[in-house]
Amino acid sequence: MKITELFNVSGKIAIVTGGSRGIGEMIAAGFLANGVKVYITARKEAALIEKAKELSDLYGADCIPVPCDLSTMHGMEEFVTFMESKEEHIDFLINNAGASWGEPYAEYSEKGWDKVMDLNVKSIFYLTQKLTPMLSLKASAEDPSRVINIGSVDGLNVPVIEAYAYGTSKAAVHHLTRIMAKRLVGENILVNAIAPGPYESMMLGAAVNHDYSQIESRNPRKRIGSPEDMAGLVIFLCSRAGAYTVGAVIPSDGGLVGTAGHDLSQS
């Protein structure tokens, strides 16, 4: 029952997709600070390598950059082949990589729709599918492996912003999480989702010119999410403390969804 045992994740191996910035970086940092070896992915090689070095130096831990494009089957296959060449197994897979696309309803393009759906939904299914043998290798009833899919409150509520594929994709992520959880729990792989509200990120920042003051004023907690908020929830789900949580979609949003009636349009 001690905290050091309930929330211990040290010695584990994790993959965090989209791990070079935003929520992915927060999750990677939380793992590294607590003794997890972390592989991070992103498309932009230089920025990814720089971030991995920064995090490795900051936490005195192994953060390994793997540049790849997970929106394509070829990119996923290359990544899985690389992981198989480096590790016998993995313990945690955090499916965080995502994209958005905003256009008016009458002009919303197939290119934007497909880009969002391919990365936000299809890649989660196929990357998890391809990594299942590595996830299951050392998983046991006492110490299961974990998959965490990063959804969004925009998949729980109807947003005002015209990013039609994004909210739709995140709702799909939430339901896909439940479907995958049912299939994989028998292999001692626990699948859950987190639905973040407003956190500092390039995606949200670009939409509000990196001025979060209005978003903060509308939030029941009167602030946006912090790295500790996201890292703490992920560590809970990946530790002994979260070993009985399966197929859940957990909002991390300061109360936007739970207290209802608040405008989620900027989330």
Q: Enumerate the active-site residues.
A: 166
Sequential DSSP letters for 127-167: HHHHHHHHHHSS--SSS-EEEEEE--GGGTS--SSS-HHHH
Lookup result for tokens 């974990």: 146
Please give the Cα distance from 154 to 157 (Å, whole number): 5
What amino acid occupies position 9? Answer: V
Q: The tokens of 85 are what?
A: 């060449």
What is the distance, to the nearest Å, from the Cα of residue 258 to the centroid of all Cα atoms in its chain?
A: 21
In angstroms, the CA 186 to CA 109 distance is 40
Is residue 150 a contact partner of residue 98, using CB atoms and an 8 Å limit? Answer: yes
In angstroms, rounded to a whole number, what is the distance separating the alpha carbons of residues 155 and 170? Answer: 5
Rounded Cα–Cα distance for residues 79 and 97 (Å): 14
**188, 139 contact by CB (below 8 A):** yes
CA–CA separation, 177 and 207 (whole Å): 27
Biggest distance spanned by C-alpha atoms of the chain: 56
